[in-house]
Structure 1
Amino acid sequence: MITPRDIEQEDIEQYSTDQLKKIRSALRALRDAVILLNDDDGLEWWNQAAEDLLLLQSADHGKSIFDFINVPEFQQYYQTMVAPNDGVHMKSWRDPNRYLKCELTPFGDEKLLIIYDVTRLQHLEQMRRDFVANVSHELRTPLTVLMGYLENFSDQEDVPRQWRRGFELMTQQTARMNRVVNDLLLLSRIEIEETHELHYIDMTKLLTHVYDDAQAYNQEYGHTLHLQIDTYDGLYGSEMYLNSALSNLVINAIKYTPKAGNIVISWARTAEGCRFAVTDDGIGIAPQHVARLTERFYRVDSGRSRATGGTGLGLAIVKHVLYQYDTTLQIESSEGKGSTFSAVFPATHIRSAPMD
């Protein structure tokens, strides 16, 4: 005997089946490749875009995804993936002029893999990088000429008094523009260069150098600077770029801390790797600004930034340098109490000091 409960259960099952069909139909229509993987990394289901991209056939059901995507970047991403994540960008293994982004999302014992074609975005980004680099190079020569003539005229004793103030302002602004151009060129080199001169970095030596430079810059501010090195572990990477990034963080702490403040530079071992940090008791940063601090030319207080000689590119440089070490800039700040800028370098980039 069929009861109302049985009819209701049948309706629920039919509704669920219809909804599942709609979802699968929608996924099939997507231009992006969508693949459902089981707990053994085998293919459970895929849409037409995935079939075309990976040349899949019905007989491939259950085969490992690594049989079809045998790319080191993808394998490393897959094995170390955490949720949420930004995916991994890589060149297509079939067409070097095509760029793909793979994004993995786990749910239960299964995983959903989506592969996007980001070739157009990659080309646009490359055009932007080339434009910034070329414009910066073109500006450098006329700026050098201007700075030379302004310096020469400013040193002349017979310059009329009413002109002297104008020369001073022009000298200040060309010097500021020169700093912006130099930072743009550095940022472009960091972004564009695919290979860097990588070697062992003695962090004790590097941080001592950063500390000494900071002491020289600190003379007009009168802060008390502390250097705390709790490990002799170093890094494997580009020392020039790392020095620029860490110096930027320390100089920022000096500039944005009221005179006679305290600034601590530290390097210590952690469970995840090694942590670099700069802590100050300065003016602090309002919460709404923290997330945007590493954007190019973003300023919390534009007037104060220009007064301190900032270009608005320092933290963008820091972000891109840290990206080379698979880490990000962490910012903890409280208005009126101070800030801590830190980064944890993962164990894969840590190197012990070489034996003499």
Structure 2
Amino acid sequence: MSNTMPIDNNQQGTLEPTSEKNATDQLNKISSAVQALKDAVILINDDDGLEWWNQAAEDLLLLQVTDKGQSIFDFISAPEFRQYYQSTTIPNDGVHIESWRDAKRYLKCEITPFGDEKLLIIYDVTRLHNLEEMRRDFVGNVSHELRTPLTVMMGYLENFSHQPDMPPHWRRGFELMTQQTARMNRIVNDLLLLSRIEIEEAHELTYIDMTKLLTHVYDDAQAYNQSYGHTIHLQIDTYDGLQGSEMYLNSALSNLVINAIKYTPKGGDISISWTKTSEGCKFAVEDNGIGIASQHIERLTERFYRIDKGRSRATGGTGLGLAIVKHVLYQHEAKLQIDSVEGVGSTFSMVFPAAYVRSAPTS
């Protein structure tokens, strides 16, 4: 005898409505959950019109039922939002804007593709923004206040170190104090530079002759390289320049080259190149040095992040070089690419978008 119970037509007919009811209940739960969010959520159609929104979005943008279909730009007019929204490749980290209703309130907008539509989420990041401003002010002010006493200390230490009648057992101590004070001075200078880059919202952008700048970076690298004995190559495949801040770019380029020199065993090979790419132009520094394990690569641009603390101190690094590089590239909408194999070598590349590339002016 079979254990399977027969199902009549009436029983079969009740399955589909029950399934539809469950789906409807789930959708209602999801809708209620989104409505309860404190962050504004807006569904935007392919014509940039408002399709649906939650209560937080209604309160933030003062929306009414009759606003359905209206352009999102009628409610968020900030130029940086429009640029972010209309960019070909939407950045993953969103865009920060000032609230149009309260200048002391800061918002972060993130867009996620949703089929043919877009999902816009707006977060209130006022507290995070204020904390970040406090951190920047603190670092900048402390670094500035440390500069004067460090300069005085360095001057006296240098004078005492050169006294001919200094006892030998004191000389070593003064040498170490001089080295560590100089290292602290480098850290302070890098902190001040990083603070200045972060605080300045807009930089004066001028045409940069990259051939001239790279030649200058190469000459400085050769001078720094004297105690390392590396072979350094410079390859320039395009005369295209950049529209940017030359002072900050010079610092970023030099940081990558100096790092390659410091972390390549003596007698190594280092190649510096400037080439044209499909995206724009690329500056790259390639070495056959000690390389970097893959688990460290994502954190290299964090302030004071060190793979090996002892090695970093021995090379005189401040732990801020790649953080400076990251912020300089951010100001130029460029990307940092790091390819490295431990024990084989590394390639650090700066990829500049075509919007910042300029042809050499004709004489």
Distance 1:53 1:233 in 2: 46
Distance 2:236 2:12 in 1: 71
Distance 1:101 1:151 in 2: 50
Query: 1:231-272, CA deviations, whole angstroms, 9 ceiling, x for partnerless residues?
Result: 111111110000000000000001101111111111111111
Asked if 1:275 is matched to 2:292, the reply is no
The answer to whether the 8 A contact 1:103-1:113 is kept is yes
The answer to whether the 8 A contact 1:83-1:106 is kept is no
The answer to whether the 8 A contact 1:267-1:274 is kept is yes
Asked if 1:86 is matched to 2:120, the reply is no
Distance 1:3 1:332 in 2: 65
SS at match of 1:345: strand
Asked if 1:69 is matched to 2:76, the reply is yes
- For residues 39-118 of structure 1, the aligned pairs below 5 Å read 39-80=46-87, 82=89, 85-118=92-125
Asked if 1:207 is matched to 2:214, the reply is yes
Identity of aligned residues (%): 78
- Kindly state the Cα deviation for residue 82 of structure 1 after the two structures are TM-superposed: 3.3
Asked if 1:6 is matched to 2:13, the reply is yes
Of 82-91 and 155-164, deviating more is 82-91
Distance 1:344 1:135 in 2: 34
Q: 1:24 to 1:289 in 2, by over 3 A?
A: same
**Cα-Cα RMSD:** 1.3
Asked if 1:251 is matched to 2:222, the reply is no
Gaps of 5+ in 2: 1-7
TM-score, normalization: structure 1? 0.97
- Kindly state the Cα deviation for residue 95 of structure 1 after the two structures are TM-superposed: 2.1
Partner residue in 2 for 1:32: 39
Distance 1:5 1:337 in 2: 67
TM-score, normalization: structure 2? 0.96
SS at match of 2:14: helix
Partner residue in 2 for 1:313: 320
Q: 1:49 to 1:190 in 2, by over 3 A?
A: same
Distance 2:127 2:292 in 1: 37
SS at match of 1:294: coil
- Kindly state the Cα deviation for residue 228 of structure 1 after the two structures are TM-superposed: 0.9
- Kindly state the Cα deviation for residue 197 of structure 1 after the two structures are TM-superposed: 2.3
- Kindly state the Cα deviation for residue 2 of structure 1 after the two structures are TM-superposed: 5.8
- Kindly state the Cα deviation for residue 84 of structure 1 after the two structures are TM-superposed: 6.8
SS at match of 1:310: coil
SS at match of 1:45: strand
Partner residue in 1 for 2:292: 285
The answer to whether the 8 A contact 2:290-2:344 is kept is yes
Distance 2:295 2:261 in 1: 22
- Kindly state the Cα deviation for residue 4 of structure 1 after the two structures are TM-superposed: 3.4
The equivalent position to 1:170 in structure 2, one of 177, 192, 195, is 177
Q: Which amino acid aligns with 1:236?
A: Q
Distance 1:276 1:245 in 2: 11
Gaps of 5+ in 1: none
- Kindly state the Cα deviation for residue 34 of structure 1 after the two structures are TM-superposed: 0.4
The equivalent position to 1:157 in structure 2, one of 154, 161, 164, is 164
Partner residue in 1 for 2:353: 346
Partner residue in 2 for 1:15: 22
Query: 1:81-114, CA deviations, whole angstroms, 9 ceiling, x for partnerless residues?
Result: 5367111111122322211100000021111100
Distance 1:17 1:183 in 2: 58
Query: 1:199-254, CA deviations, whole angstroms, 9 ceiling, x for partnerless residues?
Result: 11111111111011001111111111111111111111110000000000000001
The answer to whether the 8 A contact 1:84-1:105 is kept is no
Distance 2:27 2:89 in 1: 27
Query: 1:53-102, CA deviations, whole angstroms, 9 ceiling, x for partnerless residues?
Result: 11111001111111111121111111115367111111122322211100
Distance 2:45 2:316 in 1: 55
Q: Which amino acid aligns with 1:138?
A: E
Asked if 1:226 is matched to 2:233, the reply is yes
Partner residue in 2 for 1:131: 138
Q: 1:217 to 1:248 in 2, by over 3 A?
A: same
The answer to whether the 8 A contact 2:84-2:90 is kept is no
Asked if 1:325 is matched to 2:332, the reply is yes
